[in-house]
Structure 1
């Protein structure tokens, strides 16, 4: 289920005895998180909510909160050995519980209200929409589709000198094709002479893919001369250019670089 549909579902939840919404940054890439800072934030955030309910002397809500608190702690702590960048927990006193792992940061927030709090989730759908990252390296084009910091799909396109067309691979390119790069080097001058026409051909393929998959935007990366030439072949105008070679990075590292450059 897409995040947009999940948000719609959360908005339909209403409980008189309360709903627990937790936004917790859990990434262990920073020093404080490696020391277990997220555990302290989780404990303190839940403790403040419980103290508030105890003072307000609301028996049914306090009982519901304690059940959801235990459920949230158990589900989040189960991720301890493989923590994402952030987690979002939505639970209702009626028994519904949802834990969402995110590869993008959130602001730590703990709320107890009659409806789930979805403001940060709505903001994330705007900040990290479904997009395509296109990496150009002359006769090779690597495409990564991403949403909310995650890899949705990967494609590889390599120029076939025999058919004079782009050959598509879904996922990683087979190792058997690696030797073809040496063969293509013999045609470097020929590719340079026809670069504009051949770039236009692959740009049209990418545009078609973007339309079918309903991308919000396209991020173009590579050397300054190739990104400039490639961007001119797109009919759509919403193309963000990053003049940097990311082809040696892993997909999640590529997404991180692009997301940080657009903040």
Structure 2
């Protein structure tokens, strides 16, 4: 389910006994986190909520909280060996539980209210919308669809010299065909002479993809001359150019680098 659909669903949840919302940063990138600091934060955050409910002397609500708290601990601790950057847990005493792993940071927050707290999710949706990253490398174009710092889908386009058109591959990057590098070298001058026309062809494919998939932004990545030439062929307004060579990076590394460049 997309984040937008999740948020819409969470806003429809209402529970008189209470809803638990947990935003927990679990990234192992810092030394203190590697020592399990996130477990301490989880324990302390839930303990403070429980103490607050106990002070209100509302036994049905306390019972409901303990039930949801147990579910939250079970769901989150199951991820101990494969932690994402952040975890969001939404749960209510009526048995509606949701856990979402995120590759972007959140602010640690623990809330017990009648409705799920979705303010951070809404901020993340705005900061990391569904977008396309398009890497240009002369006769090869690699597009990565991304949302919330994650890879949603990727496609590769290679210029077919014989057909004089772009050949599309979905998924993993295709292996170079035997002799393909030699052919491309032989036709290098021809490509340079027709670059504008050929980039216009692939630009139309990318724009169609962006429209059908509802990308909010297109990030064009590559050398200054190739990114500038390709961007000229795009008719959409939300285009950002990243003048970096990321061709040797894995897709999730590319997404991370582009997001950091955009901040």
TM-score (norm 1): 0.97
Closer, same or farther: CA 95–178 of 1 in aligned 2, 3 Å: farther
Equivalence map 1:62-211=2 (5 Å): 62-175=62-175, 177=177, 179-211=179-211
Closer, same or farther: CA 178–122 of 1 in aligned 2, 3 Å: farther
Residue 258 of structure 1 is matched in structure 2 by 258
Closer, same or farther: CA 19–191 of 1 in aligned 2, 3 Å: same
Residue 51 of structure 1 is matched in structure 2 by 51
Distance 1:11 1:237 in 2: 32
Distance 2:246 2:67 in 1: 46
Distance 1:228 1:159 in 2: 19
For residue 220 of structure 1, give the secondary structure of its aligned residue in structure 2: strand
Query: Size of the alignment, in residue pairs?
Result: 263
TM-score (norm 2): 0.97
Closer, same or farther: CA 258–178 of 1 in aligned 2, 3 Å: farther
Residue 239 of structure 2 is matched in structure 1 by 239
Task: Structure 1: state its 5+ residue gaps.
Answer: none
For residue 195 of structure 1, give the secondary structure of its aligned residue in structure 2: helix
Distance 2:60 2:168 in 1: 59
Aligned-pair CA distance for 1:175? 2.4
Closer, same or farther: CA 253–179 of 1 in aligned 2, 3 Å: farther
Moved over 4 A (4+): none
Distance 1:150 1:210 in 2: 17
Task: Structure 2: state its 5+ residue gaps.
Answer: none
Aligned-pair CA distance for 1:204? 0.8
Aligned-pair CA distance for 1:176? 5.3
Distance 1:196 1:172 in 2: 27
Distance 2:136 2:174 in 1: 18
